[in-house]
Structure 1
Amino acid sequence: MKQAIFKCNSSIERVKKDALDRIKIYNDLIQILVNKGFKITNENIEMVFSNPKEYVLDQLTNGTGVVINGIKVNVIKAFELLEIPHEIIKIVNELESTPMLYGFDRYTYENGSIVLTTAEVKRIEESATIFAETSEQLEVWNKLNEVASTLNSISNKLKFNNDLQFLSACFGFNSMGNNPNATFKTDPNIINRLK
């Protein structure tokens, strides 16, 4: 049994926004490549960022690379030998200088953009969620919510501005000290606040 009892939506949205802001840099560069006729797929997207020269060379030579007299030329040399448009070289340099987008299992390439996978969105949401994993945890959580609701109702009637003052006045926390055997006791003087 696993049941969500609290989800911090602001944390979830912040982490998603940070991830999407990071991705935007890459999507802008990808769009330039796509506009220049380069094909980007889920299968080659990681190469675009991990080795942009190899990706460009692969695209320009239809996957054959550069072969001179039967000898395949390495990517860096081939990149130097080919007359590659300045705009493409500039994009490659930007891709090489942009911090690597790690964890490609967290991203997918869809409709011309890198997006978070469904699994990554779920991971983000679960990381900002507290779960009750046993029936005992769920029971305690539900009872604490009942107590909180009741205490809020009483606090509003007694017009306390400070939660600690309210709890101290109701239950005499100051007198409990560090006694491990102490129990909550209602202070009968609390009803005087209703006069």
Structure 2
Amino acid sequence: MNRQHFLRYALGAATLALAGCAGPQVSDYAAEKPALDLRQFFNGRVDAQGLFQDRGGHIVKRFTVVMDCRWEGDEGVLDEHFSYSDGSTQRRVWHLTRLADGRYRGRADDVVGEAQGQVAGNALRWNYTLALPVDGSTYHVQFDDWMILMTPQTMLNRATMSKFGVRLGEVLLSFQKAQP
């Protein structure tokens, strides 16, 4: 094999390897049911239980969340109250805006810039940067956040946290919509 053929082969193999790493897109779930309507699910009280695992899989922290959610047209507020297993608490208030084509944007005090998301079928994918306080310092970490509606009352959430492209860990949550 001459050098030119080898380079073409190597470039083709690298392209296939990178394409295999592309991962799922929210559009992959467009036909999945039940269809997720954020304004319907995140309206009223929603309770959640979750945990954070480091990149080695060790559970670092468990938590519960009580959410008070409301929408006026295409504008929503998700008022989250966290209680952690170490006794600490936290509050995050999301301000969401529904855009065209199943897209959403969101803001919160500890989100750097704006969160961008899209819904298709039963899935929502959020991407955002969070200002995360750790031991007296604040780190900007990226979240790739997937929510999947399982039933009209239950949604599962997995968020991968990374910095400079290095995976730091995952947040796993189960949301339960309160009965009216």
* TM-score, normalised via structure 1 length: 0.21
* TM-score, normalised via structure 2 length: 0.22
- Give the number of the structure with larger relative contact order, counting CA–CA contacts within 8 Å between residues 6 or more apart: 1
- Greater percentage in strand: 2
Larger Rg, first or second structure (1 or 2) = 1
- Greater percentage in helix: 1
